[in-house]
């Protein structure tokens, strides 16, 4: 998948990137909420599906905005969560999926600008 | 429409950031007429509006509610969008989605993340397909309505065949194999069907009779393949090509006998219209080897060549030494 783009395009996408980064807080909150649902057993299947879908969306946009690592980690989350049904038990699933999701959440926090200092 | 930037484009995606990216790409590349929808329902509302239709449609697959594949099917059921280029724009690269997308009538498939160069190239291809389609549709209209045979139809034109069900566009078939890529495309074999005598029918018969003959052959080929999983396309020049699921072995000799047998009831009409007897020549199944650098579309070319060579060999056998 090619993500190389001209400098002019990168510059043109700067505003889109800034808005995406600004909105990451909400996406992080949404992921945390879904993580809680999975861990407590509330609407677990729907929560797993929602995590996969949210990761799918990030996977499709992050690399174009110069956030290749974020896109790749989102892809890993989507792949793991999309295959949840193949795991024999929730604990087996969460043993693998939990750390993958945490890595994505860490990266989402890492790429966010520190608005307090701007 | 003077150039691709004049196309009216509708992009459908539930991810606002992706729509923002597309809008930025379009603005930078000079595309002036593009609209967006965040759901299939919103898109259908826009598509149903009277007035100038969209020239090109970009669809995400994974969306809440109606997904992009169901939306593609719904769009294809709208007469004014029966042939409009529909490009799937999605992160999904598994074959099941590719198969479903092209089966629903998509003409191209682009995997996210996108870049400006690739998107521009695919839109250029869509624009070229629109121009070609309009030219061929104009010819088809003339064929149906004209009382004289000077309609400017070229023998090589892949003219639309409305009476042949589920015919795939030749460009769409090629895009399908290119999207699948080497290994996955190898699940299909290509078989060529050449209409021996088609050039003579074209030269001697009224264009309407030529079109009827081509459609008769297309219907016959579909009937001959109906027990198999296949995709069929008319390429122009009296040639069809089918992609056959490799899981079902096929004997081209038996298939050739079968389709020519099915064509028998139509022969007297073809003979009366043109003074020419037509026959269908079938190629061997063609596919790339596993270790090959040939493009995924190479079997199509090989199949078409094979069918034409089969015709040449058949004629040489009747008339003398090999050509």
Contact A1 B112 (CB under 8 A): yes
CB of B27 less than 8 A from some CB of A: yes
B188-196 and B239-245 strand pairing: antiparallel
Flag whether pLDDT at B116 surpasses 90.
no
Residues of chain B in contact with residue A63, where contact means CB-CB under 8 angstroms, are: 113
Span A31-55, average pLDDT: 91
Contact A1 B17 (CB under 8 A): no
CB proximity list for B33: less than 8 A, separation 6 or greater: B6, B7, B8, B9
Note the pLDDT of residue B88. 96
Span B103-111, average pLDDT: 93
Question: φ, ψ for residue B246 (rounded to 5)?
Answer: -65, -15
Note the pLDDT of residue B321. 37
pLDDT averaged over every residue in chain B: 87
Band (B133; pLDDT cuts 50, 70, 90): confident
CB proximity list for B9: less than 8 A, separation 6 or greater: B26, B31, B33, B34, B35, B54, B55, B56, B57, B58, B123
Note the pLDDT of residue B318. 38
Span B134-158, average pLDDT: 67
Flag whether pLDDT at B289 surpasses 60.
yes
Note the pLDDT of residue A72. 96
Note the pLDDT of residue B322. 34
Q: Do the beta carbons of residue B185 and residue B288 sit within 8 Å?
A: yes
Note the pLDDT of residue B8. 95
How many other C-beta atoms lie within 10 A of the C-beta of residue B48?
9
CB of B312 less than 8 A from some CB of A: no
CB proximity list for B129: less than 8 A, separation 6 or greater: B85, B107, B169, B171
Note the pLDDT of residue A77. 96
Query: Which residue in A has a C-alpha nearest to residue B27's C-alpha?
Result: A12
Flag whether pLDDT at A84 surpasses 80.
yes
Contact A2 B62 (CB under 8 A): no
Note the pLDDT of residue B313. 56
d(CA B238, CA B268): 19
Query: Which residue in B has a C-alpha nearest to residue A82's C-alpha?
Result: B92
Question: Kindly report the CA angle at A33 between A32 and A38, in degrees rounded to 5?
Answer: 95
Band (B145; pLDDT cuts 50, 70, 90): low
Note the pLDDT of residue B143. 61
Residue with tokens 């030749």: B170
Q: Do the beta carbons of residue B66 and residue B49 sit within 8 Å?
A: no
CB of A56 less than 8 A from some CB of B: yes
How many other C-beta atoms lie within 10 A of the C-beta of residue B110?
19
Identify the burial level of B286 via C-beta atoms within 10 angstroms of its C-beta, where 0-12 means exposed, 13-18 middle and 19 or more buried: buried
Span B247-251, average pLDDT: 86
Flag whether pLDDT at A116 surpasses 80.
no
Note the pLDDT of residue B148. 41
- pLDDT > 90: percent of chain B: 53
pLDDT averaged over every residue in chain A: 88
Query: Which residue in A has a C-alpha nearest to residue B112's C-alpha?
Result: A60
Residues of chain B in contact with residue A4, where contact means CB-CB under 8 angstroms, are: 115, 117
Distance of CA B177 to the CA centre of its chain: 12
The minimum CA-CA distance between A54 and chain B, rounded to whole Å, is: 10
B204-234 burial code (b ≥16 CB/10 A, e <16): ebbbbbbbbbbbbbbbbbbebbeeeebbbbb
Choosing among A14, A60, A69, which should be mutated to test the B contact, i.e. which has the most B CBs within 10 A?
Answer: A60
Q: What strands lie across the sheet with B8-12, from one edge to the other?
A: B33-37, B8-12, B56-59, B86-90, B108-111
Q: How far is CA A114 from CA A15, A118, B268, in A?
A: 17, 7, 81
pLDDT higher for A46 or B133? A46
Span B40-53, average pLDDT: 94
pLDDT digits (tens, 9 = 90+) for B169-226: 888 999 999 999 888 898 899 999 999 999 999 988 888 888 889 999 999 999 999 9
Note the pLDDT of residue A30. 96
Span B32-37, average pLDDT: 94
What is the largest distance, in Å, between two alpha-carbon atoms of chain A?
Answer: 49
């Amino acid at each position: 998948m090619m993500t190389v783009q001209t400098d002019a395009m990168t510059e043109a996408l700067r505003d889109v990137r800034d808005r995406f980064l600004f909105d990451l807080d909400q996406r992080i909150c949404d992921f945390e909420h879904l993580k809680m649902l999975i861990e407590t057993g509330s609407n677990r299947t729907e929560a797993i599906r929602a995590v996969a879908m949210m990761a799918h969306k990030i996977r499709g946009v992050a690399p174009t905005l110069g956030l290749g690592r974020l896109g790749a980690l989102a892809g890993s989350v989507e792949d793991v969560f999309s295959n949840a049904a193949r795991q024999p038990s929730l604990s087996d699933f969460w043993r693998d999926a939990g750390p993958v999701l945490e890595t994505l959440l860490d990266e989402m926090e890492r790429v966010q600008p520190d608005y307090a200092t701007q | 429409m003077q150039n691709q930037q004049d196309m009216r484009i509708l992009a459908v995606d539930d991810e606002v950031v992706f729509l923002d990216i597309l809008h930025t790409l379009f603005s930078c590349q000079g595309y002036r007429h593009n609209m967006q929808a965040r759901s299939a329902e919103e898109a259908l509302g826009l598509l149903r509006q009277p007035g100038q239709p969209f020239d090109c449609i970009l669809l995400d697959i994974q969306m809440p509610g109606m997904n992009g594949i169901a939306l593609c099917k719904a769009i294809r059921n709208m007469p004014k969008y029966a042939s409009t280029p529909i490009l799937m724009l999605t992160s999904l690269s598994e074959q099941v989605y590719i198969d479903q997308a092209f089966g629903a009538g998509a003409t191209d498939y682009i995997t996210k993340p996108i870049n400006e160069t690739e998107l521009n190239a695919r839109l250029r291809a869509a624009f070229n397909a629109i121009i070609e389609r309009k030219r061929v549709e104009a010819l088809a209209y003339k064929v149906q309505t004209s009382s004289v045979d000077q309609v400017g139809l070229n023998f090589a034109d892949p003219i639309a065949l409305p009476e042949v069900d589920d015919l795939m566009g030749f460009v769409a078939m090629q895009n399908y194999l290119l999207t699948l890529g080497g290994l996955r495309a190898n699940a299909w074999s290509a078989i060529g069907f050449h209409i021996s005598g088609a050039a003579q029918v074209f030269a001697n018969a009224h264009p309407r009779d030529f079109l009827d003959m081509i459609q008769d052959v297309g219907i016959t080929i579909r009937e001959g393949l109906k027990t198999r999983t296949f995709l069929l396309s008319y390429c122009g020049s009296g040639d069809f090509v089918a992609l056959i699921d490799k899981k079902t072995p096929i004997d081209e000799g038996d298939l050739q006998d079968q389709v020519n047998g099915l064509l028998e009831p139509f022969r007297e009409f073809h003979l009366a219209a043109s003074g020419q007897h037509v026959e269908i020549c079938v190629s061997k199944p063609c596919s790339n080897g596993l270790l090959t650098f040939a493009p995924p579309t190479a079997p199509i070319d090989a199949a078409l060549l094979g069918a034409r060579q089969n015709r040449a060999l058949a004629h040489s056998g009747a008339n003398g030494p090999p050509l």
